[in-house]
Amino acid sequence: MTPDGLARTHAAAFGGKGWPVADFERYLGEPSILIHGDDRCFAVFRLLGPEAEILTLATSPSVQREGQATAMLSGALAILAAHNVQTVFLDVADD
């Protein structure tokens, strides 16, 4: 998992409007952030005690509809549960 790979997938998944590489570089070094998956399919979580917020998730169009996102999210939820996270939430912007 690399900042460049994450940014490339994020941009592809969001029609070219993804986060910059610098954001992923910062998040990869942040202890309160969990990035689960790989360069082609991932989710970014902010850990907030017994809660976690999904900041973003993305799957490369080249691997969509293969079940990778389902498997990645299942694995992420198991990791979060092992860290005593009880609630996971997602706020969605309408823009």
Spatial distance between the Cα atoms of 7 and 13, rounded to a whole number of angstroms:
10
Is a pLDDT exceeding 70 seen at residue 95? no
- pLDDT at position 94 is 66
Is a pLDDT exceeding 80 seen at residue 3? yes
Give helix 3-13 / helix 21-28 axis angle, nearest 10°: 130
pTM recorded for the entire structure:
0.88
- pLDDT at position 87 is 94
13-68 pLDDT, tens digit each: 988 888 999 999 999 989 999 999 999 999 999 999 899 999 999 999 988 888 88
Q: Which residues pair with 34 in a beta bridge?
A: 45
Question: Are residues 34 and 80 in contact, defined by beta-carbon separation less than 8 angstroms?
Answer: yes
Spatial distance between the Cα atoms of 34 and 79, rounded to a whole number of angstroms:
9
- pLDDT at position 92 is 81
